[in-house]
Each structure stands twice: as C-alpha cells, then as structure tokens.
Structure 1
C-alpha cells in the first residue's frame, strides 16, 4: 500500500479504504523523513524574493502551557509536495485547505493555515469521527485522544472563568463595555477590568491574556 495520502483520493475514500487507513493510522502516511527541499517556492516580499519550504518543525505544536505535542494528523504528500489532514481527508467533505485533493502548499502562510485548521470546528468533528471509528475497528490512538482532550480542557477552563465574570456583572446590573477594549486601559469597561483583576491572581488567565491579547485587544473566546 502507498504511504502517500494523495494516492487515495482517486478512490474517493470508500468504506474499505477508510477502514484500511484507520487501521494503519496517520503515522503510516506522515512521511516525516522525506526530503522537503523539493517543496521550495519563491514569494515576493516587498522589493525582495523569499524562498520558503515545508519545515519538519510543523509536525510539532507548542501548547499555551509550553508543552510540545505532535501533530499526528498532519500528513506530507511527496507526490504533491503538499500537506493534508488525515482525519479531514477521510471524513470531512468541506473545502478546507488541508482536506482537498490538492492539499496545501502555501508555505508563506502555512503556520497560520495549520493553526486555523486545527482550531476549525469541522476539523474537530472529523477528529472525533476518526477516534470513534478507531475504536470500532480496534485501534485507539492514545496520543491523539490525549491532545484533543488537552485542547478541550483548556477552553473549558477559559469559559469557566469568563462565565464567572459575566455572572458577577449581570447579577449587579453593571455594564460590560467601556470607552475602548484595550488591555491596561482604565476606560476598557467592567468586563475587561474584572478579567484583568482576575489575571493578577490567576496564572492561567494571565497566560491566556498574554497569548490572545493581540494587538492591544483581547479575544477571550478565540477557538470556540
């Protein structure tokens, strides 16, 4: 069997081919040790040309707690010189970059594309489908389950704190918004003011503000 995910698109992923690939798992198709020099593309950046490649480091994601986890779902296709998503290729019919038959080879924006993809609800649904099907065929990828659960737990913790602030303000009939939505501003309103106060004593929310307060504004529910 081929180790290249692009070779399976002509089959339109029949139930038989899906089951075979689920049993094999994404590691069978990752091609992490390929020669990526052929992926080079030249882009214009102002007055100069910049060459970009696919980088092996993209197989690793650094979480907000500085822990590094493997992107087990990310696949490299040697024939297409593109990257694909394992679970979305099998179970997602939407037109996301990493699950089309051509994959994605925009190396200039690849970091943003991959991050946006793994935060996309459609990707998360395909991951859940894959994990459920894995159990059905007798394969359980513990690392993928663990990574998915860490993401779920992270956003649950964010939501728990935000709900507490919302309940506090609504119970007292206080307005949420101020004159602006800038972190550190004395006129940013009760909502951001409470969140900033909470961050002084809660390292978790302080770290969240540091990562998602960009630029000067905070997007507390990014990822939901």
Structure 2
C-alpha cells in the first residue's frame, strides 16, 4: 500500500512512517497542505493531521475529497465533539485523537481498508454460518440455537449477520456503526453495546459475539 502521511510533527511522522514501513507499506510524508494536494492522486491511503502550517486541516480534507476517494483517517490532537463531527462529515473514514496507541491505529487502518474495499474479500460468506449450535442464515434472516429459532430485532440481526459475513475478522465499533447505522460517530453512544447484549441474552450464548477490548467485536469461535 502506498500511504500518504500528512504530518508536520517530525518525531510523530518518523514513528508513524516506521510503523507503516514495518507492515510492508511505502510511505510518502509531507508537512504542508499544498504538497498533500499535489501528491494525493498517487496515494492508496491517507493519514491526515489537522494542524498544518499553511491551511486548516478540515479545509484540506474537503479539498482532498473533491479529487480523490481513497481511505483517509484523521490523526489529530483536536478532541472536541464538534471537530470529530466535522471531520467525519467532511469525508474522513475514521478519526483518531492524539495521543494514541500505535497498535490501535494500525488496526483502525486495516478496518478502514476492509470497509472501503482495500482488503475486502470479493466473495463474502453468503450462505448460513454455524458457530457451535448457532446457525445464522442471512438470506432467510433467521437465527437458530440448537435447532430452535430465536427472534432478534432487525438491528440485532443486522449486527450479527455483518459479523458472520467474515467470521475470522475483528471489526471496529466505528466500522459496524457506519455499516449498520450509517453513522460512525455513534461510537460514542451505547447503541451498539445494547444490541450486542441483546444478541447474547436472546441466544443464550454470551460468547457468540466476542468483545475485543478497546476496539470492537468479532464473531465467537
């Protein structure tokens, strides 16, 4: 993957560049908005700081989205609710606040690339999926436990079916909320947690949906 890193902090840029390179990515780092606009067409992924010396990062994000649709994550110290909302609405696929854990950022990059097609399986599981004695049938929109049907709400089933489509993958909260609710910013609410709790309670299988602490959920083994 060819990543464009837009970051004016030299120490952080070096750390991010090293982490990406260790994962096999090639990195082009720039520190000014004008350079980012010139090079963005060459990138397959963008990490964007909002605190740039020549142009506000949100304005740069809006301009980038007029010329490219590659996956983009904002990485910034701006942590106010208004900034997060504006960043997501301006076209960011995810929003990470500094300071952050490098492992979490790398996982978010993977999740965004899966969601936007960067690593997506072109033939996701379409038929019924079995997890021990639980069968999830996306086509019929049914869930059975030990042969008996369990009735889930529409949202509960959508969440479960989404996880079952690629049972080996961990999905971030933001990815699930974006796909099911159409709003990644709901990640600050308890909506997803409530629906996951409903799935566990109604199926009587608390391990059917596994929590990956600090990140998201996956289908249980």
TM-score under structure 1 normalisation? Answer: 0.29
More helix by share: 1
* Higher RCO, Cα 8 Å, sep 6+: 1
Structure (1 or 2) with the larger CA radius of gyration: 1
More strand by share: 2
